[in-house]
Amino acid sequence: MKILIAYSSKSGTTRECAEELAKKLSPQVPTLANLDESFPDMTSYELVIVGGYVRMGKISKNAVRYIKENEAILGETMHTFFICCGDPESTECYFQRSIPRPLLDNSISNMSFGGDLRIKEQKGLDKIWAKMILSSIKNNNISENMNEEMAIPAVVPENISRFADEIRHCF
């Protein structure tokens, strides 16, 4: 089966997750394409996987644009979506806001792989935002009024494995 994994990555997390997913789909050897460099032609693929990161509550512009520009092709091709984000409770909301409903409804699976805050990889406002989030998490974890500790965002390898398993069931 010819598989495309097209992704958009800002700090490298989504790229690393896409690479790990490709390994887990063995013996298939997916084509990896960075949407921040170019938009590959998906017409020759039997399965298209599109992934992106989430910033400020939105899936990356290049991933969303690629999906919307290829909506008709995706509608006729097996497809699935993943995101990397530090807020797993909002995963479904991110997908619903960014991806056309018919594509979501006919997708093999839609999943968040978690995410991390790589402050050294961030620039400008993203770096300030990441530092504020980490500071807030640390401060809230020592607050006496907190019922639960807030977790520092992290990639969830089990989600990548589960996603790969769901995809493998289709071929």
Which range (58-67, 72-81, 123-132, 162-171) has the least confidence? 123-132
What lies within 8 Å, CB to CB, of 156 at 6+ separation is: 88, 112, 113, 114
158 has pLDDT over 90:
yes
What lies within 8 Å, CB to CB, of 143 at 6+ separation is: none
Task: Provide the whole-model pTM.
Answer: 0.82
Closest by Cα among 155, 147, 170 to 48: 170
* 152 pLDDT tier (thresholds 50, 70, 90): low
* 145 pLDDT tier (thresholds 50, 70, 90): very low
The pLDDT of 150-158, averaged and rounded, is 75
The pLDDT of 50-56, averaged and rounded, is 92
Q: In the 3-class helix/strand/coil scheme, how is the chain assigned residue by residue?
A: CCEEEEECCCCCHHHHHHHHHHHHCCCCCCEEEECCCCCCCCCCCCEEEEEEEEECCEECHHHHHHHHHCHHHHHCCEEEEEEECCCHHHHHHHHHHHCCHHHHHCCCCEEECECCCCHHHCCHHHHHHHHHHHHHHHHHHCCCCCCCCCCCCCECHHHHHHHHHHHHCCC
With pLDDT > 70 as the criterion, what percentage of the chain qualifies? 78
140 has pLDDT over 90:
no
Tokens encoding 40: 């590959």
pLDDT in tens, 99-136: 999 999 999 999 999 987 655 666 676 666 566 666 66
Half-sphere exposure of 49 (CA within 13 A, CB side): 31
CA distance to 83, 100, 153, per residue, from 138 (Å): 25, 37, 12
The CA distance from 133 to 74, in Å, is 35
